Amino acid sequence: MTDTVDMGSAPETVGTLPTPESPTTVYVSYSGLVQHRTCPQKWAFKRVDRLESLVSEDDVPVEREFGSWWHALRAADSAVRGLAKGSLKYVPPEVSLPVNAEGKVSWARVDTPDKVIALLAEWWSHQPLGIRAVWVERLGEDPVTRIQTMNLRWGYVHQMDLQFEEPIAVEVHWERELWVDQSTNTRYVLVGITDEVVRDTKRGIVVARDHKSHKKLGRITKSDELLDSQLQLYVWGLTPTLEQWGIGQVQATAYDRVRMTAPSTPVLTQAGTLSKSVTDYDAITYRAWVGDGQPFAGRKKDGSASGIYTLDEAVLARLDTPAVWAGWCHRTLTPVSRHAMRAHLMSAAVTAADISRTRAQYARDGFASRLFAPHCTWCDYSGLCQAQLTGGPGGDYDLASLRLQKRAES
């Protein structure tokens, strides 16, 4: 064993070489990369100028906020299961929820599904009637009822898989150096939050999973997910943390998707058959609606053709299939490909450098390059963008009239 030597402070010498400056650190996220790829000018409005849509009662971010509640519920459920199985390694100190000005609550307040639902109910009770009306219109029912019924269906659809899951971590914040640009002395660090890491004991693999809530679930293919950078980057970013925990490598990525809007209520025709124009419901909804039977009037005025509709086992069997349930709850499982991950990382590095150039150009010229496309029509910044195209970037523009406002400092 060698002795430890105290080097002390360096003596003053003549002709000492200057110490290289530390690189400038730039943090980039998946969402930032996507925004810049969509349009650098849009990225600058959002990330540099910190502009956002002017929110009114009619512009309540229902889907985004309800998605936060769903994420919290899934994190709590996973943590409870992980504690029970002795597999849980990490829970966050706090989670994002729209209950206060900070938009954060401590983990202790939401560490079980019941606590999440109770906090949602408390938050909902304080919302004004106008806000409530928008939520009910957009979700089809109040958010407390909606999240409970979603959770019921989620558990029913995935009950067989859950017995083979060992949750390892939820809401894992990570950061990892992407690359260092020696020409500009810039260090790029990729940051992200992975919703869930689980061990699949049936397949003997570790899975990184992302939870997503949608108004409707469309058809998602493995090709779509292979071309999506999010989990490919997240697996790479997670790797050092998992190695510290002794977990090893992630072998697969998964998206866990749910539909957030309520199902329709089945409708009977006068003849007592199910209406073919109303079919947007699931097996649980159908069974609950039928109950002890649904009366129908019949087509004859004297009521002689009336009757009671009872549960049709053939209809129930058709609704209670994986293909139909995929419209309400759907999971994918995609093996990790080193080649795909490398391609996504290289693309992320190129975009990160592009972001630095955009930031420098924006500071110098007041504008960034624009990717003109049909999406411009629906862009939140379309009005300001058009105003600057004609009046220049240095004009005095009324943000409120353009339905924009400065975002509060987080």
Q: What is the pLDDT of residues 50-66, one digit of tens each?
A: 999 886 656 788 999 99
Could you tell me if 152 and 284 lie in one domain?
no
| Structure tokens, 40 | 């650098």
Tell me: pLDDT of 10 over 60.
no
Q: For residue 219, is it within any domain?
A: yes
Q: Which of 92, 87, 75, 79 is nearest to 247 (CA)?
A: 87
- How many of the other CB atoms lie within 10 Å of CB of 135? 19
Q: For residue 157, is it within any domain?
A: yes
DSSP E strands in 78-182: the ranges are 94-96, 104-106, 165-181
pLDDT in tens, 32-54: 999 999 999 999 999 999 999 88
Residue 242 DSSP SS3 = helix
pLDDT in tens, 354-383: 999 999 999 999 999 999 988 898 899 999
Work out the pLDDT band at 222, boundaries 50, 70, 90: low
CATH number of the domain encompassing residue 90: 3.40.1350.10
Q: Which of 279, 284, 257, 254 is nearest to 266 (CA)?
A: 279
Average per-residue pLDDT for the chain = 90
Say what the pLDDT of residue 23 is.
Answer: 85
Q: For residue 27, is it within any domain?
A: no
Could you tell me if 221 and 281 lie in one domain?
no
Could you tell me if 77 and 129 lie in one domain?
yes
Could you tell me if 284 and 219 lie in one domain?
no
Could you tell me if 204 and 72 lie in one domain?
yes
Could you tell me if 184 and 232 lie in one domain?
yes
Say what the pLDDT of residue 224 is.
Answer: 67
Could you tell me if 270 and 177 lie in one domain?
no
Could you tell me if 220 and 338 lie in one domain?
yes
Main-chain dihedrals φ then ψ at residue 307, nearest 5 degrees: 180, -165
Q: For residue 358, is it within any domain?
A: no
Work out the pLDDT band at 5, boundaries 50, 70, 90: very low
Domain boundary among 327, 362, 382: 327
Q: Which of 74, 66, 65, 87 is nearest to 256 (CA)?
A: 74
pLDDT in tens, 333-342: 999 999 999 9
Residue environment code for 147-170, b if the CB has 16+ CB neighbours within 10 A, otherwise e: bbbbbebbeebeeeeeeebbbbbb
- Cα gap 219→366, rounded to integer Å: 41
Question: In whole angstroms, how far apart are CA 317 and each of 161, 286, 312, 376?
Answer: 21, 11, 9, 45
Say what the pLDDT of residue 183 is.
Answer: 85
| Structure tokens, 108 | 């202790």
Could you tell me if 345 and 293 lie in one domain?
no
Could you tell me if 71 and 164 lie in one domain?
yes
Tell me: pLDDT of 144 over 70.
yes
Q: For residue 120, is it within any domain?
A: yes
Q: For residue 355, is it within any domain?
A: no
Say what the pLDDT of residue 223 is.
Answer: 66
End-to-end CA, the chain: 50
Supply the pTM of this predicted model. 0.87
Tell me: pLDDT of 190 over 70.
yes
- Number of compact structural domains in the chain: 2
| Structure tokens, 201 | 């004991």
Q: For residue 225, is it within any domain?
A: yes
Q: Which domain holds residue 272?
A: 264-327
Nearest 5°: CA angle at 130, between 122 and 150?
50
Tell me: pLDDT of 184 over 90.
no
Could you tell me if 202 and 163 lie in one domain?
yes
Could you tell me if 223 and 294 lie in one domain?
no
pLDDT in tens, 65-80: 999 999 999 999 999 9
Q: For residue 203, is it within any domain?
A: yes
Say what the pLDDT of residue 408 is.
Answer: 75
- How many of the other CB atoms lie within 10 Å of CB of 77? 20
Work out the pLDDT band at 236, boundaries 50, 70, 90: very high
